[in-house]
Amino acid sequence: MKVLNRSRVIGRIAAPIAVGLCLLTSPLAHADGASSLNAELNAVGGYSDSDGCISEIRGSQRNSVGFEYFRKVANEYGDFLTFDLQARVSHDSSEPGGNAVGLEVHSAWAEYKLGLGRNLRFGHFSPAHGLEPVTDTHGTIQQTLAVQDVGFKKDWGVGYRGLLGPFDLSLAAQLGSGMGIQMRDGSFLLSAQVWEPPGNGFRYGLSVLAGRVLSSRGGWTLPSPGFGAAVVTKVRAGAAAAFESGSFEIKGELSAGKNDDIGVAGALLDAAYVPPSLQNLTFEAQGRVWSGELGASDGLASSITLGASYELTRDWTLRAYLIHDLSGPGDTEDTSVVCQVYFFGG
């Protein structure tokens, strides 16, 4: 029986990957339109006061190799279908032996244009909540609130993008399982978000989210992340904004709601500056706070991050950051220095 259950789980995981590979080799993949295939290399490491030498960054970046295949399919009337497959094999030093390597499937979606600015998407993509849908954090050290807030950055399901008056509207109905592919114990995730279209350098968005989210261990798609018994009922209301002017870019988000019957809330502010005389260099600062239980001092986690990234070439980027935890579980403080060598190119 255990072998049968494991086969079913592997089948659920392998199915979307097989679909993605079929898309890459199908006649659609060779139809008119633009495409790109890029390789990815991510090497991270650093030193933490509490853990000593570390080979991953808060669980968001691990040493890995991967790729992204992006394709727009077009006919004589223009492009009508877009699909994206982005995956990498990563190493987790905290796992023993053969369990230390796994496959992360990040973007794995297809989007069909319905016309009149309406789009239907299915696969693995960001819920319509917070900064994550409009910010690419796949290869960066700085992250949004998504993992603390929702529990993951992307989920499996279907989505819709269109217009609501002058605003961009996004809707998503997903499994509530994150990296892994499971629906059980009534799990689901519904989200909706409106964003002001780009224009004068300032954008803002409002979002709501509700669902029963599966708790999982690990950030891999294969092997299965190992879902625990806990299913958390989450309700959120959020706001996000982005401002860009000259050499400065400022982004922020707020989110508040409940995990089961426990109040939670968080905020993030991220600022970046590019010196006009050195366009390859970016200085960044980020402050973030998250309360997993409002009113409880030991439920508060906050940190400040300072750092810089430098583009050696179009494909190679170096990053170095100082992360100082102002508070954490058990009222602990920690300081870490992390570095990253990142390659993404064809």
| Whole-Å CA distances, 174 to 87, 114, 158, 301 | 20, 20, 6, 28
Asked if the model's pLDDT at residue 75 lies above 90, the reply is: no
Asked if the model's pLDDT at residue 145 lies above 80, the reply is: yes
The answer to which of 55-64, 144-153, 156-165 has the lowest mean pLDDT is 55-64
Asked if the model's pLDDT at residue 4 lies above 80, the reply is: no
Asked if the model's pLDDT at residue 31 lies above 60, the reply is: no
Asked if the model's pLDDT at residue 23 lies above 90, the reply is: no
Which pLDDT does position 297 carry in this prediction?
Answer: 72
The answer to which of 6-10, 51-55, 188-192, 219-223 has the lowest mean pLDDT is 6-10
Which pLDDT does position 12 carry in this prediction?
Answer: 44
Asked if the model's pLDDT at residue 13 lies above 70, the reply is: no
Q: What is the chain's mean pLDDT, rounded?
A: 88
Which pLDDT does position 51 carry in this prediction?
Answer: 83
**113-132 average pLDDT score:** 96
Contact predicate 314/295, CB 8 Å: no
Which pLDDT does position 333 carry in this prediction?
Answer: 75
Please tell me the distance from the alpha carbon of residue 29 to that of residue 342, in angstroms, as a whole number: 28
Which pLDDT does position 217 carry in this prediction?
Answer: 65
* CATH assignment of the domain containing 326: 2.40.160.10
The answer to which of 119-128, 165-174, 176-185, 250-259 has the lowest mean pLDDT is 176-185
The answer to which of 57-61, 169-173, 337-341 has the lowest mean pLDDT is 57-61
**209-238 average pLDDT score:** 87
Q: Which structural domain range is residue 162 located in?
A: 2-345
pTM of the prediction?
0.88
Asked if the model's pLDDT at residue 81 lies above 80, the reply is: yes
Which pLDDT does position 59 carry in this prediction?
Answer: 63
DSSP string, 10-60: HHHHHHHHHHHHHHHHSGGGGSSS-EEEEEEEEEEEEEETTTEEESEETTT
Asked if the model's pLDDT at residue 72 lies above 90, the reply is: yes
For strands 227-245 and 56-57, give the pairing.
Answer: unpaired
The band of 8, judged by pLDDT with boundaries at 50, 70 and 90, is very low
Q: Which residue has the higher pLDDT, 8 or 62?
A: 62
Q: How many domains are there within the chain?
A: 1
